[in-house]
Amino acid sequence: MVNDGEKAQVFSNERVGGFTETSLAWGIEAFGRLRGVDAADFDQDGNFDLFLTAEGSVLNLLLRGPAGTGFRPDVFSPRLLFAGVPGNRFGTAFADMDNDTDLDILLVVNEPGALVVVYENTPTGFQRARELNSSDPNGDVGSARALAIADVDNDGRLDVAVGTDRGRILLFRNESKETGGWIRIVTQGLRGNKDGLGTKVEVKAGKACQRREARAASGYLPQNSHSLHFGLGPHRAADYVRLLWPGGVKQIEMDVAGGQTVTIEELNRKGK
Ligand SMILES: [Ca+2]
Ligand SMILES: [Ca+2]
Ligand SMILES: [Ca+2]
Ligand SMILES: [Ca+2]
């Protein structure tokens, strides 16, 4: 959890109805003045990683997921860490914008000529790939704050909505020419958790094995589309989709065709 302009906190689910603060154990307590956060497994090693936006002269942070002892800074993407006008960085999201099976990073920067920048995930770190800016002829739309991801025109390419401090909502449609296959998963839980929030979803296609988690919100104030979007690169189907529901139920669907949104209902193990 990020508290606007303060330190981030980590709370561990004790599975007995309570949470304990464990910021110290995960090495998070050292980083102050943060604004936005997203968690995803960008390097596909099975551990969730964090990207945090910061205010003032504090650098943005890319932290690789816990390998036993806590999060550790990633040093391979210096331009991403320095990105944005100091004091004016807010929303962020991990998303596969080019459907090549790796997660890219979107970041509110509020630089002259760019409200948002897309950083592409490459073998040598995150590289600045493109800027999103308003083309509004009526002038200044304000400073970007929240950023949300959804495929609003359902063409398989993720689009971006941006909210500004003047109450404007800007929509940027993704019209990238060369994008790979894709599949989108909607989790539908049984009983109390109808949206299946907290479900871990793994999609395997060729060599790429991607993991996501069904969530309600992340970034800075927004809520992304609830569906989980996976780029498939050259593949047109997933070899399998594996789910771990919050209640512990495991489920696997084999050979799921891509190019579509697939709603997966939680298996009813109790038969009622
Ligand atoms: Ca990771
Ligand atoms: Ca990508
Ligand atoms: Ca890439
Ligand atoms: Ca789209």
- For the stretch 68-85, pLDDT in tens is 778 888 888 999 999 999
Give the model confidence (pLDDT) of 81-122 as tens digits.
999 998 899 999 999 999 999 999 999 999 999 999 999 999
Q: How far is CA 252 from the centre of its chain?
A: 23
Ligand nearest to the CA of 121: 3
Ligand nearest to the CA of 124: 3
8 A C-beta contact, residue 49 and residue 39 = yes
Give the model confidence (pLDDT) of 171-216 as tens digits.
999 999 888 999 999 999 998 899 999 999 999 999 999 999 999 8
Q: Provide CB contacts within 8 A for 149, sequence distance 6+.
A: 93, 95, 106, 158, 159, 160, 161, 224, 225, 229
Q: What is the pTM of this model?
A: 0.94
The candidate with the shortest Cα–Cα distance to 211, out of 227, 200, 226, is 200
What's residue 189's pLDDT? 95
Phi, psi of 69 (to 5 degrees): -110, -10
Ligand nearest to the CA of 95: 2
**CA 71 to ligand 1 center in whole angstroms:** 10
**CA 14 to ligand 3 center in whole angstroms:** 36
Amino acid at 59: L
Ligand nearest to the CA of 211: 1
**CA 102 to ligand 3 center in whole angstroms:** 5
Helix (H) or strand (E) holding 204: strand 200-205
**CA 101 to ligand 3 center in whole angstroms:** 7
Distance of alpha carbon 109 from alpha carbon 36, whole angstroms = 12
SS3 of residue 251 by DSSP: strand
**CA 160 to ligand 4 center in whole angstroms:** 9
Ligand nearest to the CA of 160: 4
SS3 of residue 80 by DSSP: helix
Give the model confidence (pLDDT) of 30-49 as tens digits.
777 899 999 999 999 999 99
Amino acid at 43: D
The candidate with the shortest Cα–Cα distance to 147, out of 181, 185, 114, is 114
pLDDT beyond 60 at 237? yes
**CA 13 to ligand 2 center in whole angstroms:** 31
Distance of alpha carbon 178 from alpha carbon 120, whole angstroms = 14
Phi, psi of 195 (to 5 degrees): -85, 0
pLDDT beyond 90 at 5? no
Ligand nearest to the CA of 123: 3
**CA 231 to ligand 4 center in whole angstroms:** 13
Structure tokens at 10: 């980590």
**Greatest Cα pair distance in the chain:** 59
**CA 122 to ligand 2 center in whole angstroms:** 8
Helix (H) or strand (E) holding 188: strand 181-188
**CA 105 to ligand 2 center in whole angstroms:** 9
What's residue 271's pLDDT? 63
Of 163-167, 189-193, 237-241, which range is least confident? 189-193
